[in-house]
Structure 1
Amino acid sequence: MLELHDVNSYYGKAHILSDLGFSVGRGEVAALLGRNGAGKTTTMKSVMQLVRPRSGEIRFDGTSLVGLPSHKVARLGLGYVPEERRIFSDLTILENLEVGRQPRRQGAPNWKVETLFELFPNLWERRHNRGKALSGGEQQMLTIARTLMGNPKLLLLDEPSEGIAPVIVEQMAHTIVRLKQEGLTVIISEQNLHFARMVADRAVIIEGGEKKFDGSFPELEAQPEIRDAYLSV
Protein backbone atom coordinates (compact mmCIF):
# COMPACT_ATOMS: atom_id res chain seq x y z
CA MET A 1 0.00 0.00 0.00
CA LEU A 2 2.83 2.43 0.87
CA GLU A 3 6.30 2.33 -0.68
CA LEU A 4 9.33 4.51 0.01
CA HIS A 5 12.35 4.26 -2.28
CA ASP A 6 15.68 6.04 -1.66
CA VAL A 7 14.05 8.97 0.14
CA ASN A 8 16.36 11.86 1.11
CA SER A 9 14.86 14.59 3.28
CA TYR A 10 16.49 17.66 4.79
CA TYR A 11 15.84 20.44 7.29
CA GLY A 12 17.76 23.26 5.69
CA LYS A 13 21.26 21.85 5.16
CA ALA A 14 20.79 19.05 7.71
CA HIS A 15 20.46 15.71 5.93
CA ILE A 16 17.88 13.79 8.00
CA LEU A 17 16.75 10.82 5.86
CA SER A 18 19.41 9.07 3.77
CA ASP A 19 18.21 6.79 0.94
CA LEU A 20 15.43 5.48 3.19
CA GLY A 21 13.23 2.76 1.78
CA PHE A 22 10.61 0.30 3.05
CA SER A 23 7.09 -0.81 2.18
CA VAL A 24 3.92 -1.52 4.15
CA GLY A 25 1.25 -3.95 2.98
CA ARG A 26 -2.51 -3.47 3.08
CA GLY A 27 -3.94 -4.27 6.51
CA GLU A 28 -0.50 -4.43 8.14
CA VAL A 29 0.65 -2.68 11.31
CA ALA A 30 4.29 -1.62 10.99
CA ALA A 31 6.39 0.00 13.71
CA LEU A 32 9.10 2.56 12.98
CA LEU A 33 11.54 2.08 15.84
CA GLY A 34 14.53 4.15 16.86
CA ARG A 35 15.91 6.55 19.40
CA ASN A 36 14.95 10.21 19.68
CA GLY A 37 16.18 12.04 16.61
CA ALA A 38 16.55 8.88 14.50
CA GLY A 39 14.30 10.25 11.76
CA LYS A 40 10.97 8.59 12.55
CA THR A 41 8.88 11.77 12.65
CA THR A 42 10.62 13.13 9.55
CA THR A 43 9.70 9.91 7.77
CA MET A 44 6.02 10.45 8.56
CA LYS A 45 6.17 14.12 7.62
CA SER A 46 7.87 13.18 4.35
CA VAL A 47 5.03 10.76 3.55
CA MET A 48 2.51 13.53 4.26
CA GLN A 49 4.63 16.00 2.26
CA LEU A 50 4.91 18.30 5.26
CA VAL A 51 8.63 17.83 4.64
CA ARG A 52 9.42 17.67 0.94
CA PRO A 53 12.02 15.02 0.05
CA ARG A 54 14.78 16.32 -2.24
CA SER A 55 15.02 12.95 -3.97
CA GLY A 56 13.45 9.52 -3.92
CA GLU A 57 9.94 8.21 -4.45
CA ILE A 58 6.94 7.73 -2.15
CA ARG A 59 3.93 5.89 -3.55
CA PHE A 60 0.55 5.22 -1.96
CA ASP A 61 -1.78 2.76 -3.65
CA GLY A 62 0.30 3.22 -6.80
CA THR A 63 0.06 7.02 -6.77
CA SER A 64 3.18 9.15 -6.32
CA LEU A 65 2.91 11.51 -3.35
CA VAL A 66 6.07 13.49 -4.09
CA GLY A 67 5.29 17.14 -4.75
CA LEU A 68 1.60 16.94 -3.83
CA PRO A 69 0.15 19.49 -1.38
CA SER A 70 -0.42 17.88 2.01
CA HIS A 71 -4.20 18.32 1.85
CA LYS A 72 -4.27 16.32 -1.39
CA VAL A 73 -2.19 13.58 0.25
CA ALA A 74 -4.82 13.45 3.01
CA ARG A 75 -7.64 13.27 0.45
CA LEU A 76 -6.04 10.18 -1.07
CA GLY A 77 -6.72 8.43 2.24
CA LEU A 78 -3.78 9.05 4.57
CA GLY A 79 -4.48 10.11 8.14
CA TYR A 80 -1.71 11.61 10.29
CA VAL A 81 -1.75 11.86 14.09
CA PRO A 82 1.21 14.05 15.11
CA GLU A 83 2.99 13.66 18.42
CA GLU A 84 1.88 17.17 19.43
CA ARG A 85 -1.82 16.09 19.20
CA ARG A 86 -3.04 19.57 18.19
CA ILE A 87 -6.65 19.30 19.26
CA PHE A 88 -8.93 22.34 19.23
CA SER A 89 -8.75 23.14 22.93
CA ASP A 90 -11.80 25.45 23.01
CA LEU A 91 -14.05 22.97 21.20
CA THR A 92 -15.83 20.05 22.86
CA ILE A 93 -14.99 16.44 22.04
CA LEU A 94 -18.08 16.24 19.81
CA GLU A 95 -17.10 19.44 18.00
CA ASN A 96 -13.53 18.23 17.50
CA LEU A 97 -14.86 15.04 15.90
CA GLU A 98 -17.12 16.99 13.55
CA VAL A 99 -14.11 19.00 12.35
CA GLY A 100 -12.52 15.76 11.13
CA ARG A 101 -15.58 14.39 9.34
CA GLN A 102 -15.13 13.38 5.69
CA PRO A 103 -17.31 11.31 3.34
CA ARG A 104 -17.06 7.55 3.30
CA ARG A 105 -13.99 6.37 1.37
CA GLN A 106 -13.98 3.28 -0.82
CA GLY A 107 -11.59 0.63 0.46
CA ALA A 108 -11.45 2.09 3.99
CA PRO A 109 -13.40 1.38 7.20
CA ASN A 110 -16.32 3.76 7.68
CA TRP A 111 -16.14 5.38 11.12
CA LYS A 112 -19.13 6.98 12.83
CA VAL A 113 -19.18 8.97 16.06
CA GLU A 114 -21.03 6.16 17.83
CA THR A 115 -18.43 3.59 16.72
CA LEU A 116 -15.58 5.79 17.89
CA PHE A 117 -17.20 6.21 21.30
CA GLU A 118 -17.31 2.40 21.55
CA LEU A 119 -13.61 2.37 20.69
CA PHE A 120 -12.83 5.20 23.16
CA PRO A 121 -15.38 4.98 26.01
CA ASN A 122 -13.49 7.67 27.96
CA LEU A 123 -14.43 10.16 25.24
CA TRP A 124 -18.13 9.26 25.44
CA GLU A 125 -18.15 9.99 29.15
CA ARG A 126 -16.64 13.45 28.54
CA ARG A 127 -18.15 14.22 25.11
CA HIS A 128 -19.35 17.69 26.15
CA ASN A 129 -16.02 18.67 27.75
CA ARG A 130 -13.70 21.08 25.98
CA GLY A 131 -10.37 19.81 24.74
CA LYS A 132 -8.38 21.85 27.27
CA ALA A 133 -10.12 19.99 30.13
CA LEU A 134 -8.86 16.58 28.96
CA SER A 135 -5.86 14.65 30.24
CA GLY A 136 -2.92 13.94 27.95
CA GLY A 137 -4.15 10.40 27.30
CA GLU A 138 -7.68 11.62 26.51
CA GLN A 139 -6.27 14.23 24.13
CA GLN A 140 -4.32 11.46 22.38
CA MET A 141 -7.50 9.40 22.04
CA LEU A 142 -9.38 12.42 20.69
CA THR A 143 -6.70 13.15 18.10
CA ILE A 144 -6.85 9.57 16.83
CA ALA A 145 -10.66 9.57 16.83
CA ARG A 146 -10.79 12.89 14.94
CA THR A 147 -8.39 11.51 12.32
CA LEU A 148 -10.50 8.35 11.96
CA MET A 149 -13.52 10.57 11.21
CA GLY A 150 -11.77 11.21 7.90
CA ASN A 151 -12.10 7.47 7.05
CA PRO A 152 -8.41 6.99 6.14
CA LYS A 153 -7.04 3.94 4.35
CA LEU A 154 -3.72 4.29 6.17
CA LEU A 155 -3.11 5.81 9.60
CA LEU A 156 0.23 7.31 10.67
CA LEU A 157 0.59 7.46 14.48
CA ASP A 158 3.57 9.38 15.81
CA GLU A 159 4.61 8.22 19.32
CA PRO A 160 1.10 7.16 20.46
CA SER A 161 2.34 5.89 23.85
CA GLU A 162 4.51 8.91 24.67
CA GLY A 163 3.70 10.77 27.89
CA ILE A 164 0.49 8.96 28.82
CA ALA A 165 -0.38 6.81 31.84
CA PRO A 166 0.36 3.05 31.68
CA VAL A 167 -3.33 2.14 31.89
CA ILE A 168 -4.02 4.38 28.87
CA VAL A 169 -1.05 2.88 27.02
CA GLU A 170 -2.62 -0.56 27.39
CA GLN A 171 -5.96 0.77 26.17
CA MET A 172 -4.17 2.38 23.21
CA ALA A 173 -2.63 -0.98 22.33
CA HIS A 174 -6.05 -2.66 22.30
CA THR A 175 -7.34 0.17 20.11
CA ILE A 176 -4.61 -0.28 17.49
CA VAL A 177 -5.26 -4.03 17.41
CA ARG A 178 -8.96 -3.26 16.83
CA LEU A 179 -8.07 -0.89 13.98
CA LYS A 180 -6.11 -3.68 12.33
CA GLN A 181 -9.05 -6.04 12.75
CA GLU A 182 -11.18 -3.46 10.92
CA GLY A 183 -8.75 -3.69 7.98
CA LEU A 184 -6.95 -0.38 8.53
CA THR A 185 -3.27 -0.16 7.63
CA VAL A 186 -1.29 1.49 10.44
CA ILE A 187 2.26 2.80 10.80
CA ILE A 188 3.35 3.75 14.31
CA SER A 189 6.49 5.60 15.32
CA GLU A 190 7.72 4.33 18.68
CA GLN A 191 10.59 4.23 21.14
CA ASN A 192 8.68 1.81 23.39
CA LEU A 193 9.67 -1.64 22.12
CA HIS A 194 7.23 -3.41 24.43
CA PHE A 195 4.30 -1.37 23.13
CA ALA A 196 5.35 -1.86 19.50
CA ARG A 197 5.64 -5.62 20.01
CA MET A 198 2.07 -5.72 21.38
CA VAL A 199 0.50 -4.11 18.31
CA ALA A 200 2.75 -4.40 15.25
CA ASP A 201 3.36 -7.16 12.72
CA ARG A 202 6.90 -6.08 12.00
CA ALA A 203 9.57 -3.52 12.83
CA VAL A 204 11.57 -1.07 10.75
CA ILE A 205 14.50 0.31 12.75
CA ILE A 206 15.85 3.72 11.75
CA GLU A 207 19.09 5.26 12.98
CA GLY A 208 20.59 8.46 11.61
CA GLY A 209 17.89 8.54 8.94
CA GLU A 210 18.93 5.15 7.55
CA LYS A 211 17.13 1.81 7.70
CA LYS A 212 19.05 -0.63 9.90
CA PHE A 213 16.53 -3.48 10.18
CA ASP A 214 13.27 -4.55 8.53
CA GLY A 215 11.62 -7.74 9.71
CA SER A 216 9.33 -9.50 12.17
CA PHE A 217 9.68 -9.22 15.93
CA PRO A 218 10.82 -12.87 16.25
CA GLU A 219 13.55 -12.03 13.72
CA LEU A 220 14.51 -8.99 15.78
CA GLU A 221 14.60 -11.02 18.99
CA ALA A 222 16.92 -13.48 17.25
CA GLN A 223 19.37 -10.61 16.63
CA PRO A 224 19.92 -9.02 20.06
CA GLU A 225 22.97 -7.18 18.73
CA ILE A 226 20.67 -5.15 16.44
CA ARG A 227 18.28 -4.36 19.28
CA ASP A 228 21.11 -3.39 21.63
CA ALA A 229 22.88 -1.26 19.01
CA TYR A 230 19.87 0.82 17.91
CA LEU A 231 17.18 0.60 20.57
CA SER A 232 18.95 0.45 23.93
CA VAL A 233 19.23 3.70 25.88
Structure 2
Amino acid sequence: MLEVKGVNSFYGKAHVLRDLSLDVPRGKVVALLGRNGAGKTTTMKSIMQLVRPASGTVAFQGQDIAGLQPHKVAKLGMGYVPEERRIFTDLTVTENLIVGEQPPRDGAPTWTHDLLFDLFPNLAERRNNRGKALSGGEQQMLTIARTLMGNPSLVLLDEPSEGVAPVIVEQMARVIQQLKSEGLTVLLSEQNLHFAQAVADQVVIIESGTQVYHGSLAELKAHPEIRDAYLAA
Protein backbone atom coordinates (compact mmCIF):
# COMPACT_ATOMS: atom_id res chain seq x y z
CA MET A 1 0.00 0.00 0.00
CA LEU A 2 2.75 2.46 0.98
CA GLU A 3 6.49 2.24 0.35
CA VAL A 4 8.94 4.90 1.51
CA LYS A 5 12.53 4.53 0.30
CA GLY A 6 15.60 6.58 1.17
CA VAL A 7 13.71 9.74 2.06
CA ASN A 8 15.67 12.78 3.22
CA SER A 9 13.69 15.76 4.50
CA PHE A 10 14.81 19.13 5.84
CA TYR A 11 13.44 22.11 7.71
CA GLY A 12 15.68 24.82 6.35
CA LYS A 13 19.20 23.51 6.98
CA ALA A 14 18.06 21.03 9.65
CA HIS A 15 18.33 17.50 8.28
CA VAL A 16 15.37 15.72 9.96
CA LEU A 17 14.81 12.49 7.99
CA ARG A 18 17.92 10.62 6.96
CA ASP A 19 17.52 7.94 4.29
CA LEU A 20 14.28 6.84 5.94
CA SER A 21 12.60 3.73 4.57
CA LEU A 22 9.43 1.94 5.69
CA ASP A 23 6.61 -0.18 4.28
CA VAL A 24 2.93 -0.32 5.19
CA PRO A 25 1.22 -3.51 3.91
CA ARG A 26 -2.36 -3.34 2.68
CA GLY A 27 -4.94 -3.92 5.40
CA LYS A 28 -2.46 -3.63 8.28
CA VAL A 29 -1.98 -1.16 11.12
CA VAL A 30 1.65 -0.08 11.42
CA ALA A 31 2.76 1.96 14.45
CA LEU A 32 5.55 4.48 13.93
CA LEU A 33 7.25 4.84 17.31
CA GLY A 34 10.02 7.03 18.66
CA ARG A 35 10.87 9.62 21.24
CA ASN A 36 9.93 13.29 20.94
CA GLY A 37 11.95 14.81 18.12
CA ALA A 38 12.68 11.47 16.45
CA GLY A 39 11.01 12.61 13.23
CA LYS A 40 7.58 10.95 13.42
CA THR A 41 5.51 13.98 12.45
CA THR A 42 7.99 14.94 9.71
CA THR A 43 7.64 11.40 8.35
CA MET A 44 3.87 11.82 8.17
CA LYS A 45 4.15 15.23 6.53
CA SER A 46 6.76 13.98 4.06
CA ILE A 47 4.51 11.09 3.03
CA MET A 48 1.60 13.50 2.56
CA GLN A 49 3.93 15.92 0.70
CA LEU A 50 3.28 18.74 3.17
CA VAL A 51 7.06 18.63 3.60
CA ARG A 52 8.75 17.96 0.27
CA PRO A 53 11.47 15.31 0.54
CA ALA A 54 14.79 16.47 -0.87
CA SER A 55 15.44 12.94 -2.14
CA GLY A 56 13.98 9.45 -2.03
CA THR A 57 10.65 8.02 -3.19
CA VAL A 58 7.19 7.70 -1.71
CA ALA A 59 5.01 5.17 -3.54
CA PHE A 60 1.29 4.89 -2.76
CA GLN A 61 -0.48 1.89 -4.31
CA GLY A 62 2.41 1.59 -6.75
CA GLN A 63 2.41 5.25 -7.83
CA ASP A 64 5.29 7.57 -6.98
CA ILE A 65 3.66 10.57 -5.31
CA ALA A 66 6.84 12.50 -4.46
CA GLY A 67 6.37 16.10 -5.57
CA LEU A 68 2.58 15.98 -5.90
CA GLN A 69 0.47 18.66 -4.26
CA PRO A 70 -1.06 17.38 -0.97
CA HIS A 71 -4.64 17.78 -2.24
CA LYS A 72 -3.78 15.54 -5.19
CA VAL A 73 -2.35 12.93 -2.80
CA ALA A 74 -5.64 13.09 -0.87
CA LYS A 75 -7.62 12.56 -4.08
CA LEU A 76 -5.63 9.37 -4.70
CA GLY A 77 -7.08 7.99 -1.46
CA MET A 78 -4.68 8.97 1.31
CA GLY A 79 -6.17 10.55 4.43
CA TYR A 80 -4.17 12.56 6.96
CA VAL A 81 -5.16 13.27 10.56
CA PRO A 82 -2.70 15.86 11.92
CA GLU A 83 -1.74 16.07 15.56
CA GLU A 84 -3.06 19.66 15.64
CA ARG A 85 -6.59 18.43 14.65
CA ARG A 86 -7.43 21.58 12.66
CA ILE A 87 -11.19 21.21 12.67
CA PHE A 88 -13.38 24.13 11.60
CA THR A 89 -14.30 25.45 15.04
CA ASP A 90 -17.17 27.68 13.84
CA LEU A 91 -18.83 24.85 11.90
CA THR A 92 -21.00 22.16 13.45
CA VAL A 93 -19.93 18.53 13.64
CA THR A 94 -22.15 17.70 10.67
CA GLU A 95 -20.83 20.65 8.66
CA ASN A 96 -17.24 19.53 9.34
CA LEU A 97 -18.13 16.11 7.94
CA ILE A 98 -19.66 17.65 4.83
CA VAL A 99 -16.42 19.57 4.19
CA GLY A 100 -14.50 16.27 4.09
CA GLU A 101 -16.79 14.45 1.63
CA GLN A 102 -15.31 12.79 -1.44
CA PRO A 103 -16.88 10.26 -3.85
CA PRO A 104 -16.59 6.52 -3.10
CA ARG A 105 -13.47 4.85 -4.46
CA ASP A 106 -12.68 1.28 -5.47
CA GLY A 107 -10.99 -0.84 -2.84
CA ALA A 108 -11.81 1.47 0.07
CA PRO A 109 -14.66 1.52 2.60
CA THR A 110 -17.42 4.04 1.89
CA TRP A 111 -18.44 6.16 4.86
CA THR A 112 -21.66 8.04 5.55
CA HIS A 113 -22.66 10.35 8.39
CA ASP A 114 -24.73 7.58 9.96
CA LEU A 115 -21.88 5.06 9.84
CA LEU A 116 -19.51 7.56 11.41
CA PHE A 117 -22.00 8.46 14.12
CA ASP A 118 -22.24 4.73 14.90
CA LEU A 119 -18.45 4.63 15.09
CA PHE A 120 -18.25 7.81 17.21
CA PRO A 121 -21.34 7.96 19.48
CA ASN A 122 -19.97 11.10 21.18
CA LEU A 123 -20.19 12.94 17.87
CA ALA A 124 -23.71 11.68 17.24
CA GLU A 125 -24.82 13.33 20.46
CA ARG A 126 -23.15 16.59 19.44
CA ARG A 127 -23.82 16.60 15.71
CA ASN A 128 -25.32 20.10 15.83
CA ASN A 129 -22.67 21.54 18.16
CA ARG A 130 -19.91 23.75 16.82
CA GLY A 131 -16.39 22.41 16.83
CA LYS A 132 -15.22 24.86 19.46
CA ALA A 133 -17.76 23.41 21.93
CA LEU A 134 -16.17 19.94 21.78
CA SER A 135 -13.61 18.55 24.18
CA GLY A 136 -10.09 17.83 22.94
CA GLY A 137 -10.88 14.15 22.58
CA GLU A 138 -14.09 14.87 20.68
CA GLN A 139 -12.21 17.20 18.37
CA GLN A 140 -9.75 14.38 17.70
CA MET A 141 -12.65 12.07 16.89
CA LEU A 142 -14.12 14.68 14.55
CA THR A 143 -10.81 15.07 12.74
CA ILE A 144 -10.69 11.31 12.13
CA ALA A 145 -14.35 11.21 11.09
CA ARG A 146 -13.90 14.12 8.68
CA THR A 147 -10.90 12.35 7.13
CA LEU A 148 -12.92 9.15 6.73
CA MET A 149 -15.57 11.10 4.80
CA GLY A 150 -12.96 11.22 2.03
CA ASN A 151 -13.26 7.40 1.76
CA PRO A 152 -9.48 6.85 1.97
CA SER A 153 -7.76 3.51 1.50
CA LEU A 154 -4.85 4.60 3.73
CA VAL A 155 -5.02 6.85 6.79
CA LEU A 156 -2.06 8.58 8.45
CA LEU A 157 -2.84 9.18 12.15
CA ASP A 158 -0.40 11.50 13.90
CA GLU A 159 -0.38 11.01 17.70
CA PRO A 160 -4.12 10.23 18.09
CA SER A 161 -3.81 9.50 21.83
CA GLU A 162 -1.82 12.67 22.63
CA GLY A 163 -3.46 14.97 25.17
CA VAL A 164 -6.80 13.16 25.43
CA ALA A 165 -8.44 11.50 28.44
CA PRO A 166 -7.78 7.78 29.08
CA VAL A 167 -11.41 6.88 28.35
CA ILE A 168 -11.08 8.56 24.93
CA VAL A 169 -7.82 6.70 24.30
CA GLU A 170 -9.69 3.43 24.85
CA GLN A 171 -12.37 4.55 22.40
CA MET A 172 -9.68 5.47 19.86
CA ALA A 173 -8.20 1.98 20.14
CA ARG A 174 -11.59 0.43 19.44
CA VAL A 175 -12.10 2.75 16.48
CA ILE A 176 -8.76 1.82 14.91
CA GLN A 177 -9.53 -1.88 15.39
CA GLN A 178 -12.87 -1.31 13.66
CA LEU A 179 -11.22 0.55 10.79
CA LYS A 180 -8.86 -2.35 10.29
CA SER A 181 -11.80 -4.79 10.22
CA GLU A 182 -13.32 -2.62 7.47
CA GLY A 183 -10.18 -3.15 5.38
CA LEU A 184 -8.56 0.23 5.97
CA THR A 185 -4.77 0.51 6.08
CA VAL A 186 -3.35 2.69 8.88
CA LEU A 187 0.03 4.25 9.62
CA LEU A 188 -0.09 5.44 13.21
CA SER A 189 2.46 7.75 14.82
CA GLU A 190 2.64 7.24 18.59
CA GLN A 191 4.68 7.67 21.74
CA ASN A 192 2.23 5.61 23.80
CA LEU A 193 3.55 2.04 23.50
CA HIS A 194 0.55 0.62 25.38
CA PHE A 195 -1.81 2.21 22.86
CA ALA A 196 0.27 0.94 19.94
CA GLN A 197 0.24 -2.57 21.38
CA ALA A 198 -3.56 -2.48 21.47
CA VAL A 199 -3.97 -1.75 17.76
CA ALA A 200 -0.83 -2.40 15.69
CA ASP A 201 0.22 -5.41 13.63
CA GLN A 202 3.75 -4.13 13.03
CA VAL A 203 6.06 -1.56 14.56
CA VAL A 204 8.60 0.80 13.00
CA ILE A 205 10.91 2.64 15.40
CA ILE A 206 12.80 5.71 14.24
CA GLU A 207 15.61 7.57 15.94
CA SER A 208 17.09 10.81 14.59
CA GLY A 209 15.06 10.40 11.41
CA THR A 210 16.32 6.90 10.61
CA GLN A 211 14.60 3.55 10.92
CA VAL A 212 16.25 1.48 13.66
CA TYR A 213 13.68 -1.33 14.01
CA HIS A 214 10.89 -2.92 11.97
CA GLY A 215 9.03 -5.99 13.15
CA SER A 216 6.04 -7.42 14.94
CA LEU A 217 4.94 -6.46 18.43
CA ALA A 218 5.78 -9.97 19.59
CA GLU A 219 9.35 -9.54 18.34
CA LEU A 220 9.61 -6.18 20.08
CA LYS A 221 8.38 -7.69 23.35
CA ALA A 222 11.02 -10.39 23.00
CA HIS A 223 13.75 -7.73 22.77
CA PRO A 224 13.26 -5.32 25.67
CA GLU A 225 16.73 -3.91 25.04
CA ILE A 226 15.40 -2.33 21.81
CA ARG A 227 12.46 -0.80 23.65
CA ASP A 228 14.75 0.50 26.38
CA ALA A 229 17.26 1.93 23.91
CA TYR A 230 14.81 3.79 21.66
CA LEU A 231 11.51 4.26 23.51
CA ALA A 232 12.35 4.71 27.19
CA ALA A 233 12.06 8.26 28.50
Corresponding residue number in structure 2 for 1:18 = 18
Structure 2: gaps spanning 5 or more residues: none
Structure 1: gaps spanning 5 or more residues: none
Give me the whole-angstrom Cα distance separating, in 1, the residues matched to 2:169 and 2:22.
27
| CA-atom RMSD in angstroms | 0.4
Query: What per-residue deviation string (whole Å, max 9, x for no partner) do you get for residues 44-68 of structure 1?
Result: 1001100000110110011001111
Alignment of 1:129-140 (within 5 A): 129-140=129-140
Corresponding residue number in structure 1 for 2:61 = 61
Which one-letter code corresponds to 1:16 in the other structure? Answer: V
Give me the whole-angstrom Cα distance separating, in 1, the residues matched to 2:135 and 2:118.
19
Corresponding residue number in structure 2 for 1:212 = 212
Corresponding residue number in structure 2 for 1:99 = 99
Q: Please report how far the alpha carbon of residue 39 of structure 1 lies from its aligned counterpart in structure 2 after TM superposition.
A: 0.4
SS in 2 for 1:43: helix
**Equivalent pairs, count:** 233
Is 1:165 matched up with 2:170?
no
Query: What per-residue deviation string (whole Å, max 9, x for no partner) do you get for residues 117-152 of structure 1?
Result: 000000000110000000000000000000000000
SS in 2 for 1:228: helix
Query: What per-residue deviation string (whole Å, max 9, x for no partner) do you get for residues 131-186 of structure 1?
Result: 00000000000000000000001000000000000000000000000000000000
Runs of 4+ in 1 over 2 A off after TM superposition: none
SS in 2 for 1:232: coil
Give me the whole-angstrom Cα distance separating, in 1, the residues matched to 2:139 and 2:19.
35
SS in 2 for 1:140: helix
Give me the whole-angstrom Cα distance separating, in 2, the residues matched to 1:129 and 1:91.
8
Using the size of structure 2 for normalisation, the TM-score is: 0.99
Identity %: 71
Give me the whole-angstrom Cα distance separating, in 1, the residues matched to 2:194 and 2:202.
13
Using the size of structure 1 for normalisation, the TM-score is: 0.99
SS in 2 for 1:91: coil
SS in 1 for 2:27: coil
Corresponding residue number in structure 1 for 2:46 = 46
Give me the whole-angstrom Cα distance separating, in 1, the residues matched to 2:156 and 2:220.
22
